[in-house]
Structure 1
C-alpha cells in the first residue's frame, strides 16, 4: 500500500506529513518507556524483519497481490510507540534507497501504514487479551484478529485522504469498495504472518513480547484445602536472559527471506496499485525522486542476473534497516537512561 507521488495533492500531503511528524515525535517519547536493554536491539531487528517480509508479495486474487504492512506485528512485539517508529524506519529506507513509496507522500504512508495500523491493531489486541483466557495462546489469537482488521482500516483511511486530496476525479464510493474488498483479502495474509511470527517468539521467549507482558496467570498451590498464590519465582539475571539467540535467528531469517525467498514472490501489482490502475487513480502519478538510486525497484544497478540483483538488494536493505533501526532505538533507550539518572547535588562543606 505504498502511496506514490502524485496520488495526493500537495496541501493534503503536507498536512499528512505534519500528522506523521507529530506521531513520530510522540512515539519517540513513548518508546523510552517501552525499550530496555533487551528489547532495544530487538526493535531494530523487527524493523529489518518487516522490511524483508514486505518483499514477499503473495497472490490474493486474479492479477492482484498483497504484502505485509507490519503495524500489528511491530506493536505486539515491541510496543505501539516503538511500532510506529519501526514502520517509519522501514518506509524511510524504502523511499530513499529503493524508490518504493513517494517521498512527498512519505507523510501519507507513515500515517496510513504506520500510525493507523499500529493504533487500530494494538487497541483491538489489548481489548481481546483482556477478555480471553490469560495464557500464551490468547496472544496469538488476538494478534491474528488485530492484524486482520488493521489492513482494511488502513485502506479506509487512505480512501478518506484520497477523498480530501485526490488528484483524479474518481468517485470515492468506488475507491472505497475496491480498496476495502482487496485489503480484506490482504488482511488475511497479514493476520497469518503476524500470528505465526508472534506465536514463534512467544513459544521461546514470551518475556520479549511486549503484548504478552503480565498475561501469565499466577501459579496456585493447594494448602490446607485452599488455593493460594505460589511464591514468586526468583528473577533470572539479565545476562542469563540474553536475547542474542532470538536476535541472531531473526536476522538470519530476514536475510534468507529478502535474499532468496523474495525471488519467488508474486509479480502481480499489490492492492493499491491494482485499484489505482483499474479506477484511474494513477493518472497523475509522478516519477520517483530516487528512481536513479542504485537499488531502485529492489535490484542492484548494473547486475543483469535478476536473482542475484534482487537478492543482493534485499540483503543490503535488511542490513541498512537493522543498523539504522538499532541505532535509533539504542539512542532512544540511552536518552531514557539519561533522563532517569538522578541529578548529583554536591554536599555542602
Structure 2
C-alpha cells in the first residue's frame, strides 16, 4: 500500500508529513520505556526491535495473490506492536518505509508522511488497542494471544485502507468519487488483511512457542505458579532466576535474521508480480492519472525497484537487493533503538516498564 508521489497534493502531503513527524517524536519518547526493559532485560530489547524492522522489510517483499490480477503484502504494524510494543512498533515501520523510499524508490518521498501515517501509525494503533481489548475477554493463554493477534492484524489492514481513503478525500489529485475509492479499497484490503492475519499470527505464535517472554503483548502470561494447599491456592516458591546466558535471545535473534535473509534473498523471487491492492485500485479507478508526471527522487538509485544495478541475472539481482535491504534496515533500526534506549531519563531506569 505504498503511496507514490502524485496521488495526494502537496499541501496535504506536507500536513501528513508534519503529523508523521509528530507521531515519530511521540514514539521516540514512549519507546524509551519499552526499550528500557525490566530487571536488566533492556540490553536485549533494542536488537530485537531492529530485527522486527528487518523482518517486516523482508516479508513486505513477498507479495501474495488475493484476487484476479491483484496481490497484497504484509503491512507489519500489528506484528511490530505485539512483539515490541506500540511506540517501538511505529518506529519500526517508519524505519522500514524510510529505507524503502530512499534506497529502493518504493513509496514516494513527498508521500513519506502519508505512508508513515497510513501504514505505520494507523495499523499500529488499531492493532494495539484491539489486541488489548481482546486480551481482556479471551483466555489468558498462548492460544488466546494468538487469536487476539489474528483479529488485530486482520482489522488493521482495512483500517489503513480507510485512512488512505480519508487522506485522498482531503487531498486527492484526481476527481474519483470518495465512495468509489472506499468501496474498492476496503474490498481488496479485507482480503489482504486475511493474509496479514495469518502471517502475523504464525510469527507471534512461533515466538510464543520458544520464548514467550520476548513478546511484549504477552508479558502477563508470566504469572506465579499456584499450588493448592489445604484447599487454598497459594503462590509456589519461585525458582531461581535463570542464568543470563539462558535468558539470552541470541538463538531467537539469529533464527529470525536467518529467516529474514532467506525470505528476502530467495523466497522473494517467487512473489506475485501482480500489482498490490492500492496499485490495482488506482489503475482501475483512475487515481493514478497524474502520477506519471512525478519521477521518484531516487529513481536512479542502484537498488531502485529491488534490483542491483549492473547485475544481469534477475534472480541474483533481486535476491542481493533483498539481502542488502534486510542488512540496512537491521543496522539503521538497531542503531536508532540503541540510541533511544541510551537517552532514557534517570527516572525511567530501574524496575519500571
TM-score by length of 1: 0.96
Please state how far the C-alpha of 1:337 moved relative to its aligned partner.
6.4
Task: Give the Cα separation in 2 of the matches to 1:260 and 1:271.
Answer: 24
Q: Which moved more, 1:282-291 or 1:70-79?
A: 282-291
Query: Once superposed, what is the RMSD of the aligned Cα atoms?
Result: 1.3
Whole-Å Cα distance in 2 between the matches of residues 220 and 307 of structure 1?
55
How much has 1:234 moved relative to structure 2? 3.0
Q: How does 1:314-325 map to 2 (within 5 A)?
A: 314-325=322-333
Partner residue in 1 for 2:76: 70
What is the deviation of 1:231? 2.6
Judge conservation of contact 1:134–1:216 (CA < 8 Å) in 2: no
- Unmatched tracts of structure 1, length 5 or more: 343-349
- Partners of 1:76 and 1:175 lie apart in 2 by 30
Q: Number of paired residues?
A: 342
Once the two structures are TM-superposed, the CA of residue 54 in structure 1 deviates from its matched residue by 0.1
Deviates more, 1:213-222 or 1:22-31: 213-222
- Matched residue, 2:51: 45
Residue number in structure 2 paired with 1:295: 303
Q: Residues 327 and 338 (structure 1 numbering): CA distance in 2 closer, same or farther, change over 3 Å?
A: farther
Aligned partner of residue 60 in structure 1, secondary structure? strand
Give the equivalent residue in structure 2 for 1:13. 13
- 1:220 is matched with 226
* Alignment of 1:327 onto 2:335: yes
What's the CA shift string for 1:31-70, capped at 9, x where partnerless? 0100121111000000000000000000000000000000
Alpha-carbon offset, residue 338 of structure 1: 5.9
The TM-score, its normalising length taken from structure 2, stands at: 0.95
Q: For residues 1-349 of structure 1, what are the structure 2 equivalents within 5 Å? A: 1-35=1-35, 36-285=42-291, 286-336=294-344, 340=348
Cα shift at 1:218: 3.5
Give the gaps of 5 or more residues in structure 2.
Answer: 36-41
Q: Distance in 2 between matches of 1:239 and 1:34?
A: 22
* Equivalent pair of 1:70/1:87 in contact (CA under 8 Å): yes
Alignment partner of 2:208: what SS?
A: helix
Q: CA deviation at 1:235?
A: 2.7
Cα shift at 1:226: 2.1
